[in-house]
Amino acid sequence: MNLPDEILKTFASELQALTSLDQVREKRREVQARVRQQFGGLSALEPAEKRRVGQQLNRIKAEIERLAAVRQHELEAAQPQAGEAFDPELPAPPLRLGHVHPTIAILRRMNAFFQSLGFEVVDGPEIETDHFNYGALNIPPDHPAREMQDTIYLLEPDLLLRSHTSAVETHVMERRKPPLRIVAPGKAYRNEAINVTNNYMFFQYEGLAIDRHVKMSHLHWVLTAFLNFMFGADCKSRFRAKYYPQVEPGLGVDLACEFCSGSGCSVCKQKGWIEILGAGMVHPNVLTFMGIDWSQYSGFAFGMGLDRLVMSATGISDIRELYGPRMSYIPEV
C-alpha cells in the first residue's frame, strides 16, 4: 500500500473515534494538508506516472471530504434538539449535503479583506458596450490589445459580453468623482480554447483607487498585504514590468506554482510561476476620458483571474473542475 492510501485508511479509522464536529473539522484539515504535500512530489515523476498519481491524490482528497461529511452528519443527528422530545416514529431530518463553491468562498474572503482597507464592492452589467469595455480604457478600435481578448460580440461592433471586469470601473468613474476606492468581482467572457488553465467564462476581480497623491508604493503595499493574507507571510511572489493599455507604468504579479514547487509543470506551463494579476498606475488618458483631472488626481488599478487564484488557494489543478459536475473540494476558509 502506498502512502496516499495509507493516509486515507488511517483517516477512516480515526474518524470513528472522534466525538465532536470540531474534532472532525480539525482532523480533515490536518489530513488534507498531508495530501497536498504529496502534490509537491509530482514534479519528479515521469508524465504518465505524474498523471496516475495526480488522479489518485484527487480521488483520495474527494474521499476524505466524503468520509468527513458522513461523520459530521452522524454527529449532528446524534445531538438532541433543545426543547424537543425524541419521537422515533417521525421521519429523519433531511441530510444537508453540499457546500459553498470554492470560488464563492474565496470571493467572500477577498471582499472582507478589501473592505477592511476601505474598498467598496461594486457590480456592473455583463453585456457591455464597446465604450465601457474598451474605449474608455485607452483601447481604441485599432489597438492590438483587442486581438488578445478574443471578444464575444453580440451585435458588432458595439454590443458584447464583457471581456474583463475593468468595464465596471469605467462605469463608476463616469458616475462618481474622486476619491474612489472600489473592487469589482464578477464573470468575464472570451472566446478561449478550454484547457487546464483557461475557460471561455471565468471570474475576474478588479480593484481601483483614485485620490490625490496615490503612488506605486501604495499599490505595492496593498498587493503584498493581499498575497500575505491569502497565501501566508511565507508565500513566494514576484513583481515584474508588464504592459497594459489602461495603466502606465504596468506590472504583472506571479505566484510560485504550488503544484511543482517552481520546477515546472503543465499547470504553470513549465515556467514555475503562475501569473495571478496585472496592475499599474491608471493611465492619464483614462482619467481624461472620465473627466478626472490627472494633474490633481492619480490612481492605481489591479485585475486578477479569480479562478487561478482559487486554484492556487485550494490545490485544484484543473480549472474545468470549477465548472464541472463533480465538485468535491472544500477550501479552508
Among 71, 76, 59, smallest CA distance to 12 is for: 71
**CA 212 to CA 294: how far, in whole Å?**
9
Q: pLDDT tier at 204 (50, 70, 90 boundaries)?
A: very high
pLDDT at 1 over 50: no
Question: In this predicted model, which residue has the larger pLDDT, 290 or 261?
Answer: 290
**E strand or H helix that includes residue 196:** none
What integer pLDDT is reported at residue 45 of this predicted model?
80
- Residue keyed to cell 473627466: 291
pLDDT at 185 over 90: yes
Among 165, 171, 160, 208, smallest CA distance to 187 is for: 165
Each residue of 167-179: pLDDT tens digit?
999 999 989 999 9
Q: Answer whether 126's CB lies under 8 Å from 187's CB.
A: yes
- Residue keyed to cell 483517516: 11
Q: pLDDT tier at 2 (50, 70, 90 boundaries)?
A: low
Q: What is the pTM of this model?
A: 0.66
**CA 326 to CA 98: how far, in whole Å?**
11
Each residue of 94-138: pLDDT tens digit?
776 667 788 888 899 999 999 999 999 999 999 999 999 988 888
| Local structure of 331: helix, strand or coil | coil
- Residue keyed to cell 463553491: 101
* DSSP conformation class of 294: T
* DSSP conformation class of 157: T
Q: Answer whether 58's CB lies under 8 Å from 36's CB.
A: no
